[in-house]
Structure 1
Amino acid sequence: MRADEPVARAVNFAILVAHRLGEPRVLELPPAQVRALRRASGPGDWGRRLTYRGLRVVETSAPAGRVLVWDRMRETEMIQPIAWPGGR
């Protein structure tokens, strides 16, 4: 296992869980996690205009990443935090 794979697993799991809240739209990550995710992911995972698996990626200065989800039923934004391996 490469050193960055746990980051990709944490992000992918958070995206999966976010689907239970609604429609995932934005992935907010600190710059170090964006770089780690790029190193650990496959070439088909990244799209144009900085998207990862269809989600827009935004670099944030916050220490924790999160997936922003649109809940159509409530017409509001929901947040799915990313649980980093080893407390990153």
Structure 2
Amino acid sequence: MCTAQLLISTAEGGLSTLVEDVVILPAWQAHGTGKRLMEAVAEWSAFQGATRIQLLADRNNTRALGFYNRIGYRPTELICLRKGAG
């Protein structure tokens, strides 16, 4: 499962998709499930008119980062900042 939100990107001048919480149960990993899920998100995003898909991942989550790299996602120069608990 995952969540995807449509946002207004001022940098793109239009809609952008933010993907969060990509979770594949261990029994379904390495069988193409995550790739199909992300392809479905890309199709949905395009149908909505989004010109970009972004996602966040913990820098120490090497399995997830390797997966995203294999399906074409690349790091950017952006950093994530937060304020509050945790």
Q: State the TM-score, normalizing by the size of structure 2.
A: 0.36
Higher Rg of the two aligned structures = 2
Higher relative contact order structure (alpha carbons within 8 Å, sequence separation ≥ 6): 1
**TM-score, reference length from structure 1:** 0.35
